[in-house]
Every structure is written in C-alpha cells, then in structure tokens.
Structure 1
Amino acid sequence: MSSSQGGVEDTYELQNDERLDDLHSKLRTLRGVTTDIYDDVERQNSTLDHTRDAFSSFGSSLASSSRRAANAFGIGNGGVKQWRIIGYCVIALLGMWITLKVVWWWYPSSPAPEH
C-alpha cells in the first residue's frame, strides 16, 4: 500500500506544481496589466495637466483682452470714452467726403468722346 500511496502523493505533488506554475503565470499577467493601467493613468494625468494649463492660459488671455476692450470703449477706469470714438469716426467720414468733393471738383469726369 505504501507504493500506491507514494504514486498518489507524487501525482498530487505534480498537480500542485502545475497549479503553482499556473498561479505564477496568472500573477505575472496580473502584474503586467497593473503596470499597464498605472502607465495609462500617468499619461492621462499628464494630458489633463497640460489641458488645464492650456485652458488657464487661454482664460488669462481672454481676461486680458476683455480688460483692454473695456478700456478702449470707456467701460473701465481710464479708458477712452465712447463718445470720443464716435467723434473720431464722424470726423473721418466727413474728411473722406470733403476729400472726394475736392477731387471731383478739380478733376471733373471728362465727357465721352464723340464718334
């Protein structure tokens, strides 16, 4: 009986060794998946950090542009007043109109040649 029990124990030991090898293989696979997940999370965090920095920079630029526009239209403190801008536009239009009148007066359109 001892010889048959030795064969059974050897069989059990071989099965245990196979199962242990399977377990080691699964652990290596799990370790690889965990490492891949960690690397992916690090890449995503880096991308999110760059995106946050880009939006922060864009927000600062937009706020700066908004302040400059407010100053230009006299909305904020120390800005050019809106009536000044309107006045400049009216003066520019009058200046162009007068220039055109003077040019037409000095250089009238010539009559069409007769055939």
Structure 2
Amino acid sequence: MSEAYERERQNNARLDDLASKVTSLRDVTVNIYDSARDHEIIDDSNEVFANFTTGLKQSAGRITRMAATGSKGQTIKLAGMIVGGVIVLYLLWGIFF
C-alpha cells in the first residue's frame, strides 16, 4: 500500500507542476493578446492623426489660395472667422474641461 501512496503523491506533485505551467502559459497568452490589442489601438491612432494632418494641410492650402485670390475685405472676413473659431474653441474648452 505504501507504494501506491507514493505513486499517488508523485502523480499529485506532477499534476500541480503541470497546472502551474498551464497557468503560466495562459498568463503569457493573455499578455500577448493585450500587447497586440495595444498595438492595434496605437496603429489606429496613428492613422487618425495622419488623416487629420493631411486634412489640415489641405485646408490650410485652400485658405491660403483663397486669401491670395480674394480681395482685402474677403481676407479680413477670413481672418475674423479664424479668430472667432479659436475663441469659440477656447470657450468650449473652458466649459467642458
């Protein structure tokens, strides 16, 4: 009987060792998944900022062309709209943040 108990004890020890290895493997898998998800979020953010930058450059180019081809009155109106937009954004920023 003592031999059977010894084998049972060895089996339990090996089972515990295997369980700890499975837990470690699961933790590594979860960490890899989290890292991949973080990289996906970063890539998406980079794409959004790249699109924003492109749109901003295009808008600035159009505004520059409009200011160059327009009369002095149109240029003053444009400058007023830009200043007004900045003031509105500043006020909204103060209200919400």
TM-score, normalization by structure 1? 0.55
Mapped pair 1:49 → 2:35: no
Tell me the distance in 2 between the aligned counterparts of 1:16 and 1:64.
72
Which letter does structure 2 place at the counterpart of 1:21? L
Pair 62,87 (structure 1): closer, same or farther in 2 beyond 3 Å: closer
Tell me the distance in 1 between the aligned counterparts of 2:74 and 2:18.
83
Say which structure, 1 or 2, has more relative contact order (CA 8 Å, 6+ apart): 2
SS of residue in 1 equivalent to 2:60: helix
1:86 to 72, 75, 80: 72
Tell me the distance in 1 between the aligned counterparts of 2:67 and 2:28.
58
Q: Percent identity?
A: 17
Unaligned runs of 5+ in 2: 76-97
Which letter does structure 2 place at the counterpart of 1:43? R
Tell me the distance in 2 between the aligned counterparts of 1:43 and 1:86.
52
Larger Rg: 1
* 2:10 aligned partner: 16
Q: CA deviation at 1:16?
A: 2.7
Pair 59,71 (structure 1): closer, same or farther in 2 beyond 3 Å: same
CA-based RMSD of the aligned residues comes to: 2.3
Which letter does structure 1 place at the counterpart of 2:31? I
Pair 73,13 (structure 1): closer, same or farther in 2 beyond 3 Å: same
Tell me the distance in 2 between the aligned counterparts of 1:88 and 1:31.
67
Mapped pair 1:27 → 2:13: no
Tell me the distance in 1 between the aligned counterparts of 2:48 and 2:29.
29
